[in-house]
Chain A
Amino acid sequence: MSQTTAPTVVTCGADMFADAVAGQAVDVERVDWRPPMPGTEADLAAVATDARRVEANRTAVEAMLGVTAHLVDVAPASEVLGLEKGQFLHAGPPIEWERASGPLRGALMGGAALEGLVDDPEDAVALFESGSTVSLEPCHHRSAVGPMAGVVTPSMWMWVLEDRATGRRTYCSLNEGLGKVLRYGAYNDEVLTRLRWMGDVLGPLLQAAVRGTSEATDVTGILTQMLQMGDEAHNRNRAGTLMLLRDLSPAMVTSAEDGGFAAKDVADVLRFVGGNDHFFLNLAMPACKLALDAGRDVPGSTMVVAMARNGTDFGIQVSGTGDEWFTGPAQVAEGLFLGDFGADDANPDIGDSAITETAGIGGFAMATAPAIVRLVGGSVPDALATTRRMHEITLAENPRWSVPVLEFQGTPTGIDVSKVCRTGILPQINTGMAGAVAGVGQVGAGLVTPPAEIFPKALAALAARVPR
């Protein structure tokens, strides 16, 4: 009450009161308020008045923003995850073969052939139907993330990222490129041949390069730079891929000979990586997971720590509710299709790559990637509006990851379950689209949102945990 002039008044509710204040020559900022998602009012109030919430969300956000991800190794999943023959990791929340979608089935079948469990991928169907010698588990349950089908088998080589402050690590497979690839559910000879080369040449050479690079690559730092170079780190990773190549190439060249690799192998790897604009995605994803995992398990926090899809279900995990998944049916993306493919060919949303949006990039940083707005079927103004809209449902701005065209505003960070329920604004995800039939591969790319109902479910679980 010490000010001599009346302050700005923010009005939320009846326009009449805003008009009355404006009529007294006072600045008014009007909230475009609308009722929350149906049936959420009581839970919203319970969570809003949870005495732990404000501090819990601050703790979760700060923990997340405090993480720097360093690339410390590349090694087979059998070594770093202890994955054994017959164990398969997959994207998204838990699922059984019976409910698995086409692309997930295709990737599992290809993975079984890669591991020598069957000679012909088609024979793997019986293997998974019987279920006696194989098991399925989400990547997320093993500190890993996988794009699209996200299938990981013991022989696949994994990126290893570490938070040096705590020693925590996250993992992700190596990116195969676009088109007919396992992660999109393709499993023909071309796919398996490439995967074998990745295991024989790409993985070991990358391992030599990473181990031979004196200063470990700062993946979080590359993300900072690439966001200022037109990448949003989900559907565009071109600058990030080239910066990675810049960091790893010298050691790859010098260590190749000791490892018994020919110059041609080095050239093949450089060509493969440099020619795959999505190569860095598989580093962006575990970097995001490493940060988000730091924000897990804060009682009272309403921050989403994972969004993931298995092609059938879309699931989220929330800081204040531990490892519980809140799931609903995965949606089909809207966007552009390759060749003759159309909406009927597309499988519902799949992949752990929405971890990028969970961390505030990907679709959330769309404003910084105008080059790909057409790929996902939008316009440049749409991209700016999308990033701004995501600030309505997030808890903070990331001081390291900023968007030049929005005056270097930090990316919208930390999805708040409560704000999603209040505004009805759903997280915007940039995604690739897999063919619905096993074996087809990629059919397009576009934009998708989670099913709305999973947020009220998560909110109810948060409300139920409020101490009385």
Chain B
Amino acid sequence: MKDHVELRSGAYADSVTLLQVSRAVQATPGVVAAQVAMATGLNLEVLESMGFDVPASSPNDMVVALRLDDDADVAQALQAVDAALAPTRPSAGDTTEAPPRTTGSALRRTGPGALALVSVPGVSATVEAMDALESGHDVMVFSDNVPLAEEVALKTYAASRGALVMGPDCGTAVIDGVGLGFANTVRPGRIGIVAASGTGCQQLLALLHHAGEELAAQGTDGIGVRHALGVGGRDLSAAVGGLATREALRRLDADPEVDLVVVVSKPPAPEVAEALARETDALGTPVELGLLGRGQRDLTAVAEAVLARLGHDAPTWPVHGADDAAAATGPLLRGLFVGGTLCDESMLLATEALGPVRSNIPLSDDLALDPGELLADTHTFVDFGDDALTQGRAHPMIDPTLRNEQIARAAADPSTGVILLDLVLGHGAEPDPASLLAPAIEAARADRPIPVVVSLVGTDLDPQGLAAQRDALVAAGAEVHLSNAGATRRALDLLNRSAGSTR
């Protein structure tokens, strides 16, 4: 085998495109491994771990790293790289009119009311978002790794202009049924959601959609979601103080088509949560607060409270592939998540049952995993969507490489008793994520029957199709829940069934 590594200065493509390029090149005959990526610190580590020798570079360089069979033609492989990198969109008829180069320039070309969706690397996101705000447009900032001070500056400016900043690190929004970022396709209705949490929002969307379908099947007027406005996971922190949540609530309160508003959030700063509770009492539209935290309700309980408030009983949340004979194969729980809020929710439930658990997004600082370490000799929860694990990489909903590696490591550890996973469907996610996760689950269970419990967050209207994804996971040996809280409780239950369980 031989390696070919080259740097392309000045070349740029986003991490999702480069992931697709890497996969396309990897499928070329003679190519053993291919990694085309921007030379960020994290990507250089990955290249190093693959055994590539990368020359000195800057994060603005593109690295093309190829491992070829001895008789393979380097030029041919590079041709495949170039072909995969070539833009697929046809050029416009008028060659003197180039596409806009900044968000501001693009917004000048669209009418008023246009919404900006920014997903450039975090260091450049604020600049693009400001373009939208200063020309009076709302903006959704999907990008993570945006400094906190910049978020505060953006939201302070937006508040002075009555504009809405969804994000930074806002994974999900649904506006008039149009999904932005990672969003599920859901039944339309009269519920409004404000979410300081992307996957928390998606869990709520999935549960409410399922309940709506069940109600419709019984002939009851279904329920559904009109808007889901993401505000970014830090919006209810002390530093940001709920600036975007307040604006989102104002918008939804003013919308006559919204009967009920739900606020979901990662664990908020207590003083911000208290202020929010006071303010929501003063709104004309009823507000259900679903703020995660110790002693607070889980997301499924929040969905049930919303249903109750609208006069409906909650359905039985679906479970597939349950094996009554299953039992933990060791003392420890391994939670490996792509959704940060789903990870948070599971940790809160697990902590009640098991005591403190370690994580890269710990519930308190003393529970942090050691830097660079994702597995410890106690119960561990990893959020692969955390900023530190996505620098220069696509989100794990698109690029499962890191999590799949970690599933294998957890399975190889004899103390692993249960593996708890999530899988999120919807716009923006992998077209067939189960096909990438199922082999990892099968491999993990090859030597011993480690129970694998998955919360599969999605709807039957999502592009991937909920049923097909679920069936593929069940066929690989997983037990699949729609409710993440349900999946977590099941994992904890299985852990109790192991002989000689230690706490």
Contact = CB atoms under 8 A, between A and B. Distances in A.
Interface in B96-149: 96-107, 109-111, 113-121, 123-124, 126-128, 130, 132, 134, 137, 142-143, 147, 149
B427 interface: yes
Interface in A1-45: 1-18, 20-21, 23-24, 26-27, 29-36, 38, 41-42, 44-45
A15 B87 CA distance: 11
Interface in B419-451: 427-428
A97 B305 CA distance: 82
Contacts of B153: 49, 51
A400 interface: no
Nearest to A26: B178
* Most chain B beta-carbon contacts within 10 A, residue among A4, A15, A31, A385: A31
Contacts of B124: 33, 35-36, 41, 44-45, 422
B232 to A, nearest CB: 16
B96 A381 contact: yes
Contacts of B113: 3, 7-8
Interface stretch (B12-20, B196-204, B472-480): B12-20
B255 interface: yes
A276 interface: no
A20 B96 contact: no
B52 interface: no
A13 B142 contact: yes
A77 B149 CA distance: 53
Interface residues of B, number: 66
Interface string B156-183: 0100000000000000000111111100
A388 interface: yes
B116 A10 contact: yes
A385 B98 contact: yes
B317 to A, nearest CB: 27
A372 interface: no
A381 B93 CA distance: 12
Interface residues of A, number: 53
A48 B130 contact: yes
A296 interface: no
B179 A20 contact: yes
A419 interface: yes
A368 to B, nearest CB: 13
B17 A45 contact: no
A391 B116 CA distance: 20
Interface in B310-324: none
Given A1-B175, A12-B118, A422-B102, A41 B123 contact: yes
Contacts of B105: 31, 391-392
Contacts, number: 185
A26 B118 CA distance: 16
A192 interface: no
B76 interface: no
A41 B147 CA distance: 12
A33 B147 contact: no
A23 B427 contact: yes
A2 B255 contact: yes
B370 interface: no
A6 B15 CA distance: 28
A232 to B, nearest CB: 16
Interface in B284-329: none
B398 interface: yes
Contact of A12 (B116, B157, B177): B116
Nearest to A387: B96
B457 interface: no
B8 interface: no
B101 A32 contact: yes
Interface string A374-402: 00000001001100110110000000000
Interface in B220-272: 227, 251-252, 254-255
B95 interface: yes
Q: Identify the interface centre among A12, A41, A49, A51: most chain B CB within 10 Å of its CB.
A: A12
B179 A5 contact: no
A267 interface: no
A41 B149 CA distance: 15
Contacts of B115: 7-10
A419 B102 contact: yes
B427 A48 contact: no
B128 A33 contact: yes
A68 interface: no
A8 B114 CA distance: 5
A423 interface: yes
Contact of A31 (B99, B142, B180, B255): B99
B119 A14 contact: yes
A38 B153 CA distance: 24
Contact of B154 (A6, A41, A49): A49
A459 to B, nearest CB: 11
B40 to A, nearest CB: 11
B413 interface: no
B17 A35 contact: no
B175 A392 contact: no
B12 A14 contact: no
A384 B94 CA distance: 10
A31 B103 CA distance: 6
Contact of A10 (B107, B143, B255): B107
Given A7-B113, A29-B110, A13 B120 contact: yes
A425 interface: yes
A464 interface: no
B134 A54 contact: yes
B123 A24 contact: no
A97 B121 CA distance: 47
B96 A385 contact: yes
A11 B101 CA distance: 11
A9 B117 contact: yes
B60 interface: yes
A45 B147 contact: yes
Given A10-B117, A392-B105, A381 B95 contact: yes
B463 to A, nearest CB: 8
B99 A32 contact: yes
Given A31-B102, A45-B126, A5 B107 contact: no
B119 A45 contact: no
Contacts of B255: 1-2
26 contacts: A1-B175, A3-B176, A6-B177, A8-B111, A9-B115, A9-B117, A9-B178, A10-B137, A11-B119, A12-B119, A13-B128, A14-B15, A14-B142, A15-B17, A16-B17, A17-B180, A30-B106, A35-B121, A41-B124, A44-B127, A45-B127, A49-B126, A381-B95, A388-B97, A392-B105, A422-B101
Given A8-B114, A45-B124, 16 more contacts: A8-B111, A10-B137, A12-B102, A13-B120, A14-B394, A16-B398, A17-B181, A27-B110, A30-B99, A32-B100, A35-B12, A35-B60, A35-B121, A45-B150, A388-B97, A391-B105
Q: Which 8 residue pairs are nearest across A and B when measured between Cβ atoms?
A: A13-B119, A49-B153, A384-B96, A32-B99, A20-B427, A41-B123, A6-B178, A385-B96
Interface of A: 1-18, 20-21, 23-24, 26-27, 29-36, 38, 41-42, 44-45, 48-49, 51, 54, 381, 384-385, 388-389, 391-392, 418-419, 422-423, 425
